[in-house]
Structure 1
């Protein structure tokens, strides 16, 4: 999760589904979760970031029931922008910051509105594990 100076949340629009989610992706073999999120954010948004802390771990079978056939753990990190400008990629058709009270239509396979709200409210707190 990355915030701008107004505490708006950075989301990416999937180029295929046209649904929005936090930047991220499946981990690649040989790189750590932190290295993976830095790589994914750069690929999907054009931003260079640093990871501040782990704010949530979700079991997708319990928290994102649309993923029932593929169980995995989703790690949500609070990140800070270091440099770069927002750009799209092959995976993203749009990248933008949103007010928490005005979120676009989300890809609930990736992130639910409640997860985003909980992560925002917990960005400097204890890790949520569900």
Structure 2
């Protein structure tokens, strides 16, 4: 659950960004800029992250504020799920932010290729989740996580800057997960979707 101060900071940032997008009066725009600065200062004060870094991460967009999209691929072989090993040593489903020039389906396929070296088809949306309802730590911006059931059609692992390898795991023998990206509940949801012939997409 989000703490109240974080809810306030997020709302202030959202209101300020909308005002900067649609406001025309120069004095109003100055006020919106100051509200945005205050939201960043609150985040910096409560998290010990430098104000400038908060501004770069939290107050760097224009236009009406909307959630970011993150795709996660669920790939199975012999009843086990594929996880990639992060540089941190923890494990996750292949995935990442959706690039502006690709669709959700294209991004899912691209991320698997980049992180696991595999060619896949993206076959079915397992779930669309509001990250703040499922993953920690809480982010200052909204994220929609899209889990996609995929099928391998070729490829092989290649060294890359994001992962150090991949392996297949059974549902009851999961490694230490990068829980900010996917937790045990989410991985087990993918197993359930894999086993269920007529799976209905879950969404928050």
- Could you say which TM-score interval applies, normalised by the shorter chain? over 0.9
Give the number of the structure whose alpha-carbon radius of gyration is greater.
2
User: 1:61 and 1:89 mapped to 2: Cα distance?
Assistant: 29
> What's the counterpart of residue 41 of structure 1?
112
User: 1:61 and 1:3 mapped to 2: Cα distance?
Assistant: 27
Q: CA 1:31–1:69 in structure 2 vs 1: closer, same or farther (change >3 Å)?
A: same
- Matched position secondary structure for 2:147: strand
> What's the counterpart of residue 91 of structure 1?
162
1:65, distance to aligned residue in structure 2 (A):
3.0
Gaps of 5+ in 1: none
Q: Is residue 78 of structure 1 aligned with residue 125 of structure 2?
A: no
Larger helix percent: 2
> What's the counterpart of residue 3 of structure 1?
76
> What's the counterpart of residue 134 of structure 2?
63
User: 1:86 and 1:128 mapped to 2: Cα distance?
Assistant: 31
1:87, distance to aligned residue in structure 2 (A):
3.3
- Matched position secondary structure for 1:76: strand
- Matched position secondary structure for 2:180: coil
User: 1:39 and 1:93 mapped to 2: Cα distance?
Assistant: 17
User: 2:171 and 2:158 mapped to 1: Cα distance?
Assistant: 21
- Matched position secondary structure for 2:75: coil
- Matched position secondary structure for 1:44: helix
Moved more, 65-74 or 27-36: 65-74
Moved more, 52-61 or 116-125: 116-125
Task: With the length of structure 2 as denominator, give the TM-score of the two structures.
Answer: 0.60
RMSD: 1.2
Q: CA 1:88–1:101 in structure 2 vs 1: closer, same or farther (change >3 Å)?
A: farther
User: 2:178 and 2:107 mapped to 1: Cα distance?
Assistant: 20
Larger strand percent: 1
Higher relative contact order (CA 8 A, sep 6+): 1
> What's the counterpart of residue 127 of structure 1?
201
Gaps of 5+ in 2: 1-73
